[in-house]
Structure 1
Amino acid sequence: MSIQNSDGEEKAGFFIASNIESEWGEDNVDHQSLLLQRADALASENRLKEAIDVFSMALRYGSVRPEKLSTLLDCVLRNFKKNVGGELAAQPIVTARNSVGNTADVFSCPGCAWFLGEPVTVGCGHSCCKRCLQRHMFSKCKLCGEDVMNVSGALRPNVVLCSILEKWFPNEIKRCKEIAEIEDLSRRKQFEEAVSLANNVVKSDPGDVLARICRAEALAGLGQYKRALGDLEPLWLSSAKWAEGYFRKAMILQEMGQVEESLNMLLHCLALDQHFTLAKKELEKRLHQLLSPGLENVKVGLRETVQSSSAHLWSKTVAGEEQEDVQAEENGEGGPSESVGRRSLSRAHSLRARRGPTGPAGEEGLKRVSSAPQLGDQEKAALLKRKLSVCEAGPSFIHSLGNKHKKQGGTETAGAASCTSMPCRTVPLELLQASDCECSLCMRLFYEPVTTPCGHTFCKSCLERCLDHAPQCPLCKESLKTYLASRKYNITAALEEVIKQYLCKEHMERKRSQTEETKELSDLMKNVPIFVCTMAYPTVPCPLHVFEPRYRLMIRRCMETGTRQFGMCIHDPRKGFADYGCMLLIRSVHFLPDGRSVVDTVGGKRFCVLERGMKDGYCIANLQHLEDVRVSDGEELSKLQELHDQVYGQARAWFHSLKNRFRGQILQHFGPMPEKEADIQATPDGPACCWWLLAVLPVDPRYQLSVLSSTSLRERLLKIQHILTICRASPTDS
């Protein structure tokens, strides 16, 4: 791959962008927005050379947030990946888990692959360590690819998982707390204390990778960059696809002034993990600095370009000095302070050798900077293209470093290799207790555990029932309105795997009881849920607005069991609900943010109530379905058909006599009148037009109920004909 343009190509791209600008004239057009749109389009088409030119022009019109360069960054990464032959395809560190997989996977963070210290369960149901989320290591879950939620707000660890891990792995938890303390000291810029604590941790466990990373950051804060690289280098080399290793090294190299190598590391990091948020933001900032107008940026860019020729020599010098320091420490030459002073002097001497005004390269660079104060956007764009040409040396440079350290055969590299392999953690059998995984609402083993943003875990069905009554956490009473609105009650995967692996018998028993309960709810003849509301008829749509908690539960159970059916009856002051009703089939459910729902249903079979009861606040009943008595006599069937045709004609005449607004309301709510059926006894409930008419005609519900309960088609037709006669005699707008 060649990201760098020839001079002719650079001029051509700049000429195109200039022509676009000249066409706008001097009116009030937002030139910067148009240029940014053009640049985004060029970058999307993978025309990197022209995109750089146009982006550089856009920045002349004013400041632009670095995030606006995300399309350009994507284009750079595509070219970089193409250059390295796709060997750094972005893959998650932990690609998959299964119920019988490696024990270490269950207790490992999918983001960093280390121990799941302070697990935070995100919106997709997967749990990551708090450290990864605090540092914004990634924007998408490494297991499912969904956007990571709750990262911007307070990170609440999963209470149940934390309790289990602290009980089963106290040493690991203790080490995680020490790591958190080291990082906290570094954040407060107490680097010496952080290094001292990290030294103690590494001394007790030389294979602790996170301790070495934290120590490297603290050392970098003290300006001891070679020692920091000494901690990172063997870890980075032993795990060729460790994205965080590339990022950490890139930041240290940037502080050391090795800008080109730092940029190369960042590109490798994003090539491995395109959702590594920190690296992406850092690269956007770097591109923004290179493209922004101003002499200082040009000076820095020119100096980096001048120094790029000695980049490999500099890396060798650093490695050689680092080897000397390590040997000096092992031989006991000088105390810690003396060693630090020697490193600082060595680093200062190295920087002077590279940057000092007395060096040939330094003099030439300064002369070029001082003689180029009028550099325009074309030259800056060309400079950036040359700057991005470090991508061409990516794989060979990385592999050369790896081969060099392999040849050295140092013990630290071997130690890092061993510490990057995942340990096989064993759960003490004597500590396994089912009570550690019990729902605080139903007091039974978790079944489909879900975790709220506040960190509390419940069975999915238990939590939904609580949210039916109030949008608050049942334990801490924190508002869950946003969580309720999203309705993403995803199963907490880590806890589910723990239960399946270590509490297998209890899980099977819990699953069996749940299956029996579901089977009992799916019977459409016994204990059928009854919605006491309005009249419903076979084949006729019946939209419902569900807001009461008891009916929210009822509708949810109908969906979960797969029946998608419930009974509809009108209210009866003595019995609670009428003796006759109609089954409704749920076609779709639209949930509103506050938990209410709009349920689209259509009428099914008619039924007669045999027994009544209550379940969890809503009515239930044992039912018997109703069917019309079939007419088999030829003459009687002929008279029945004649009566049907007569009633159908009367119905059409009445419907067309209505005013337009009434017809429109009927059509919107109930749909058009059904077509005349060839066989009026084809279904147990008779022709659909009868039920449609019964639903739209202005009739008392008690009279409608008598028609619904009738099993004689002739009687039904006669009653409808009587109603139509009365309606035709009244005004058309009645």
Structure 2
Amino acid sequence: CSLAWMRAGRAAITPQGSYCIAANLQALRPDELQILVEVIAHTIRTKEQNDCKTISVGSTLESRCFEIDEIDEEQNLDLFSCRLCKCLLTEPTSLVCGHTFCKCCLEDDLAKECRSCRLKTNKSPRQFTVDGLRVNVIISGLIGKWFNSESKARRYWSEGEGLWKKLDLSNAILKFNTAIELEPCECRLLARRAELFMEMKNFGQAIKDGDTMCRLRPLWPKAHYIKAAAFRSADRNEEALQEYFCYLWLVVQTFFSLSLYFFFFSLLALFPDNASSCKTLPTFSGERQVPSQLLDSADFECSLCMRLFYEPVTTPCGHTFCLKCLERCLDHNPNCPLCKENLSEYLATRAYNKTLLMEELLQRYFCDELAERQKVHEEEMKELSNLNQEVPIFVCTMAFPTIPCPLHVFEPRYRLMIRRSMETGTKQFGMCIADELKGFADHGCMLEVRDVKFFPDGRSVVDTIGIACFKVLSHGQRDGYHTAKIEYLEDKKVEGEELTELLKLHDSVYDQALGWFTSLKDDMKNQIISHFGQLPVKDSDPQVNGNPNGPAWCWWLLAVLPLENKAQLTILAMNALKDRLVAIRRVLIFVTRKRPR
């Protein structure tokens, strides 16, 4: 007979009145109503989410609340609630993906993945094991300050759960009692204590907790379900039946299924004495409010820049910094700036995701200050991206227009410089050789970044190519690296007889260069080609090739010829193609005569 009612429950929301088939077989007994309620609720859940899972009638009390409690609680979550336990965050732990949960919830989560973005925690730095989970210091302090009583209650509650798992029920109930003294209106806490009371066979206290829950949250299905279970365990079946009806009514209201409405009201006809207990009740809202007098922007200051957090990022050791501040620190040292814990693994992943809860708190409570902070940041980025005002200078080697210049970046100052060039979108910086007196030479070449590959230890290989020659007007510095105000160089154009002579010189020197390169040994030629590519083709008109610094083959040749940097710099600084060709011809004559036969 019970099986017939179960089958009827599963079909109840499709063929209206199918429950009558079961009713014709035999009247439903009060002690069978729980099975029917469970099956109906599971059917609704399956229909709404297209979930094909089946329910076990012999499952635990917790699982028999059919995820409906989860749906109800999800609607009442606020910023300070854990998405796993649906309660106030306790020992809030921020994963590297940016989402925050209770530490104990992450420890108990068998899936070992972030429930918000599905990032596997076993792929996250310092979060391979439970030992790797660290509390977010800032968020933990804020919750303790803003919700002091509830925060303490949650800690006692968590301790009670731990004792319950160890079957130390007498001490567990003491922890629960202390927690409820602090937060007597926390219904989820009352629900857990009621379940603990039932496990201890103290059904009278479980019923009292059920009464309190139903008074505080009359529209919470789980409150009526637990109260009904307590009545049933105490063999008070009529009262259990009434609470099961309340539970079922709330389930119907939750999913608003017309066919189930029909089924439910028809079911009431079988039990008219309980119909009066099912009525519309006041709503409940669980939104936490932060006391305005406790809001202080100083609580949201980065310990590195002493300004309001901008793009806050939390390290695996639990400390929060502005993204740019953290990156600059990790450029110099792979340790946390505060606790000095090694962050090499975190640095290797470059998983600098914003801590979403911190970002949301800033936007909600300090939106004006955040807008001002963003404005300052954008002004700084604008200043950094203005290459007409100030150009970052990489002091290293000779570079030439159109010629690739691969760089191995490991110094902290240049890590910062390269990152800024990418963040601002310019993807450009100047390259100069060193000068003992001025720091760097008075002429150089602008480079454009084509690609950056990062290594786990923070080093990078930067693929760049030269785009233009420049003259340094003034030397400067910013945050440890050199800067300069520059003036771009362009070759002077000639006409008439001068152009005719220039074309003859151009063709002559190119042929001379081609002859020199062709005469090289194969291994030397292959080495040059692998690094700089083939000798570029000769331009028909060297003044009209789109490059203000002259034909590409000249720069290719200057890069591969065995010249000292100072000699190369002298040719780079020339702004007349004729002068550059004459200088290159002299070098070719010299290297040809010096070549061993």
* 1:641 aligned onto 2:503: yes
* 1:157 aligned onto 2:135: yes
Map of 1:714 onto structure 2: 578
Q: 1:172 to 1:594 in 2, by over 3 A?
A: same
* 1:324 aligned onto 2:235: yes
* 1:129 aligned onto 2:92: no
Cα offset for 1:721?
Answer: 1.9
Map of 1:669 onto structure 2: 531
Can you list the C-alpha shifts for 1:10-33, whole angstroms capped at 9, x where unaligned? Answer: xxxxxxxxxxxxxxxxxxxxxxxx
Cα offset for 1:238?
Answer: 8.0
Structure 2: distance between partners of 1:223 and 1:319: 10
Q: 1:410 to 1:545 in 2, by over 3 A?
A: farther
Map of 1:187 onto structure 2: 165
Map of 2:299 onto structure 1: 436
Structure 2: distance between partners of 1:81 and 1:536: 70
Map of 1:453 onto structure 2: 316
Can you list the C-alpha shifts for 1:64-100, whole angstroms capped at 9, x where unaligned? Answer: xxxxxxxxxxxxxxxx999968523999x999xxxxx
Structure 1: distance between partners of 2:542 and 2:205: 91
Structure having greater relative contact order (Cα 8 Å, sep ≥ 6)? 1
**Secondary structure of residue in 1 paired with 2:78:** helix
Following superposition of structure 1 onto structure 2, how do residues 102-251 of structure 1 map, counting pairs within 5 Å? 105-136=78-109, 138-148=111-121, 149=124, 150=127, 152=129, 153-198=131-176, 201=179, 205=184, 207-213=186-192, 216=195
**Does the 8 A contact of 1:531 with 1:569 survive in 2?**
yes
TM-score by length of 1: 0.61
Following superposition of structure 1 onto structure 2, how do residues 316-715 of structure 1 map, counting pairs within 5 Å? 321-322=232-233, 324-325=235-236, 423-631=286-494, 633-681=495-543, 682=545, 683-715=547-579
Q: 1:127 to 1:678 in 2, by over 3 A?
A: farther
In structure 2, list runs of 5 or more residues that go unmatched.
Answer: 1-42, 54-66, 241-259, 269-273
Structure 1: which amino acid aligns with 2:161?
A: E
Structure 1: distance between partners of 2:166 and 2:592: 86
Structure 2: distance between partners of 1:169 and 1:450: 23
Cα offset for 1:677?
Answer: 2.6
Greater shift after overlay, 590-599 or 139-148?
139-148
Structure 2: distance between partners of 1:502 and 1:411: 43
Cα offset for 1:635?
Answer: 3.4
Q: Over aligned residue pairs, what C-alpha RMSD do you find?
A: 4.1
**Does the 8 A contact of 1:183 with 1:214 survive in 2?**
no
Structure 1: distance between partners of 2:45 and 2:81: 32
Structure 2: distance between partners of 1:490 and 1:227: 47
Q: 1:322 to 1:684 in 2, by over 3 A?
A: same
Can you list the C-alpha shifts for 1:208-234, whole angstroms capped at 9, x where unaligned? Answer: 2155246636855x69999999999x9
In structure 1, list runs of 5 or more residues that go unmatched.
Answer: 1-79, 96-101, 250-315, 330-398
Structure 2: distance between partners of 1:137 and 1:697: 64
**Does the 8 A contact of 1:182 with 1:214 survive in 2?**
no
Cα offset for 1:206?
Answer: 5.3
**Secondary structure of residue in 2 paired with 1:324:** coil
TM-score by length of 2: 0.74
Structure 1: distance between partners of 2:342 and 2:276: 55
**Does the 8 A contact of 2:449 with 2:465 survive in 1?**
yes
Q: Tell me which protein shows more helix as a share of its residues.
A: 1
Q: 1:325 to 1:192 in 2, by over 3 A?
A: farther
Cα offset for 1:181?
Answer: 1.4
Cα offset for 1:198?
Answer: 2.9
Q: 1:94 to 1:458 in 2, by over 3 A?
A: farther
**Does the 8 A contact of 1:182 with 1:198 survive in 2?**
yes
Q: 1:84 to 1:327 in 2, by over 3 A?
A: closer
* 1:87 aligned onto 2:50: yes
Structure 1: distance between partners of 2:219 and 2:493: 82
Following superposition of structure 1 onto structure 2, how do residues 307-322 of structure 1 map, counting pairs within 5 Å? 321-322=232-233
**Secondary structure of residue in 1 paired with 2:471:** strand
Cα offset for 1:448?
Answer: 1.0
Q: 1:571 to 1:229 in 2, by over 3 A?
A: farther
Q: 1:139 to 1:403 in 2, by over 3 A?
A: farther
Structure 2: distance between partners of 1:226 and 1:597: 68
Structure 1: distance between partners of 2:83 and 2:77: 11
